[in-house]
Amino acid sequence: DIQMTQSPSSLSASVGDRVTITCRASQSISSSLNWYQQKRGKAPKVLIYGASILESGGPSRFSGSGSGADFTLTISSLQPEDFATYFCQQSYSFPYTFGQGTKLEIK
Amino acid sequence: QVQLQESGPGLVKPSGTLSLTCAVSGGSIRSSNWWSWVRQSPGKGLEWIGEIYDGGATNYNPSLKSRVTISVDNSKNQFSLKLTSVTAADTAVYYCAKVGTSSWYVDHWGQGILVTVSS
């Protein structure tokens, strides 16, 4: 299985901050990397797919980059509704696997 | 807008069978899409269980393959999950999901159902 490792596991930031979350795959996965946001008690919601494609209707402050094994999710200016947990997920090969999550908290 | 809703028992006895159904509304399950099950537990995080295509083809997570069956009922516009020989390790929130058409990612999720394995 391809292991997905996110860093950091948790992060404290303030409204307006620029935030970057990293996801590393245990092998190359081309651009088959998706990012999800999950709020407490809710299902995840896709933000970015194909490493850098913003899901339709998604806020433009979210962006994704990377290819191969190293990827980043950037939030350009944190908004109050962005405090949540973020997961990466590879769709390169079965079984599809997720990162352990990054919890973004208010400083 | 496609909506998905899980249903099934919230409590299953150890060694029993977990059976869940996902009702699809706002669209046909026969729409050339993959339909998937994902679970989430505090200990193992998010775990992809498997998926089914509207023609019946399936893919399963090898770690669960011997215990999992995903099926589709086109007449009821729903798909189902069966997981046999459950243990406490199968306690999780189970989500049904629709996979995107342009790339493999989940573009619609059910609200999730907590299934606890306990006697």
User: B30, B98 in Cβ contact below 8 A?
Assistant: no
Chain A contact present for B47, CB below 8 A: yes
Residues B90-102 as b/e (b if ≥16 CB within 10 A, e otherwise) read: bbbbbbbbbbbee
Q: Which long-range contacts (CB under 8 A, 24 or more apart) does B60-69 make?
A: B61/A94, B61/A95, B62/A94, B62/A95, B63/A1, B63/A95
Q: What DSSP character marks residue A96?
A: P
pLDDT at A49 over 90: yes
Q: Looking at residue B56, what is its pLDDT?
A: 87
pLDDT at B42 over 90: no
Q: Which of A43, A50, A98 sits opposite B110 (nearest CB)?
A: A43
> Is the Cβ pair A49, B45 closer than 8 Å?
no
Distance between CA atoms of residues A42 and B1, nearest Å: 18
Alpha helices in chain B (DSSP H): none
Q: Which residues of chain A does B61 touch, with a Cβ-Cβ cutoff of 8 Å?
A: 94-95
Q: Residues B22-26: what's their mean pLDDT? A: 97
Q: Which of B46, B59, B106 sits opposite A46 (nearest CB)?
A: B106
